[in-house]
Structures are given as C-alpha cells and as structure tokens.
C-alpha cells in the first residue's frame, strides 16, 4: 500500500510522531515473520521506538493503526508499557491478559486523544476498526488461555477431581 503523505491527516500524524520521539515509521511486508499471531499486525517497538505497519492495510486503516501505535508510544513514555506480556515462547501468560487488554484500551484512548488534538475526525469506520482490533486480541488471548487451562483440566480429571 502506497501511503499518500500529501494527505493532511498523515502529515499531522507524522509531524506529531517526530515531536514525541517516535524514531521511525515503516510500512512493510510482514508475512513470514517469526510471530505467527502477529504476522500481519501493526506494532510498536519499545526498544527502538519505531512503528511498523503492514503494507496489506488500506490507507484509512493505516491512519487508525498509526494513531493506536502512537498510543503505545505514549504509554511507554509514561512507563506503563507492558514489557512482560509475552514469554519467550511468544505466548501471552494467562495472568498478564488483563494488563495487556488494559494496555490496548489505553492505547486506543491515547489514539483518540491524539486525533482530537490534531483535529483528525474519527468516524464510524474508526470505531469498526478499533472494535475489530480489540476483538482480535481478545480471541488470541482466549485461545491461549484455553490452551493453558486445558492441561490443568486434564490433571484434575486424572485425579478424579472437579474444578
């Protein structure tokens, strides 16, 4: 996806990223990465303070994703970015799910605040995008929790216990 940097909203967002210290923004082909659940998802890298957006996204979705990833950057600045939500295995720990979901919500709240500050209007398509993203995270985490809980259920059954 070629992004139109002449678009006034993109210009505002990119200028704002520079102002708050996001080191780089990249639209890249992400399929084939090592993170199977995150292959085609935008992400913020706290270590180098960069944002990467998959090239498969539509231009409008890129705007929304950028605002959201800026929200993560703002959380990192406030030292509220969750470093520990992924194990080395790349799997979310059941006990961290609540914090991860709160971080995602905080990033969306920050995104809306940034959009308001920059005078970027967010309409129904933004709300649909946000809802779908949150649902995707919830689905991933629900599956991982289920996977983590199933062995526990098997152990209880072997011992003739009920949970």
Domain extent at residue 112: 8-158
Residue 112: inside a domain: yes
Average pLDDT over residues 149-163: 50
3 state SS of 29: coil
DSSP string covering 55-78: TTS-HHHHHHHHHHHHHHHHHHHT
Confidence at residue 140, expressed as pLDDT on a 0 to 100 scale:
73
- Can you give the pLDDT at residue 156? 46
SS3 for 51?
Answer: strand
pLDDT, greater one: 35 or 21: 21
pLDDT for 99: 76
User: Per-residue b/e over 7-43, b at no fewer than 16 CB within 10 Å?
Assistant: eebbebbeebbeeeebeebebeebeeeeeebeeebbb
Q: What is the mean pLDDT of the chain?
A: 76
The answer to whether residue 110 sits within a structural domain is yes
Tell me how many domains the chain contains.
1
In a domain, 65, yes or no: yes
Position 19 pLDDT exceeds 70 = yes
| Confidence at residue 3, expressed as pLDDT on a 0 to 100 scale | 60
C-alpha closest to that of 64 among 2, 122, 21: 122
Given this model, what pLDDT does residue 100 score? 77
DSSP state of 24: E
Closest CA to 71 of 116, 108, 102, 26: 108
pLDDT tens, residue by residue, 84-132: 444 444 455 556 677 778 888 999 999 999 999 999 999 999 999 999 9
In a domain, 3, yes or no: no
Question: Does residue 138 fall inside a structural domain?
Answer: yes
């Amino acid at each position: 996806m070629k992004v139109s940097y002449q678009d006034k909203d993109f210009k505002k967002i990119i200028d704002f990223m520079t102002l708050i210290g996001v080191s780089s923004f990249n639209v890249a082909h992400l399929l084939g990465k090592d993170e199977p659940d995150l292959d085609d998802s935008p992400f913020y890298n706290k270590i180098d303070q960069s944002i990467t957006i998959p090239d498969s996204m539509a231009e409008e979705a890129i705007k929304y994703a950028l605002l959201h990833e800026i929200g993560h950057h703002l959380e990192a600045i406030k030292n509220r970015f969750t470093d520990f939500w992924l194990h080395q295995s790349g799997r979310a720990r059941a006990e961290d799910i609540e914090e991860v979901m709160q971080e995602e919500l905080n990033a969306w709240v920050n995104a809306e605040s940034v959009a308001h500050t920059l005078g970027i209007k967010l309409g129904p398509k933004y709300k649909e995008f946000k809802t779908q993203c949150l649902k995707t995270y919830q689905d991933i985490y629900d599956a991982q929790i289920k996977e983590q809980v199933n062995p526990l259920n098997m152990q209880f059954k072997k011992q003739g216990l009920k949970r």
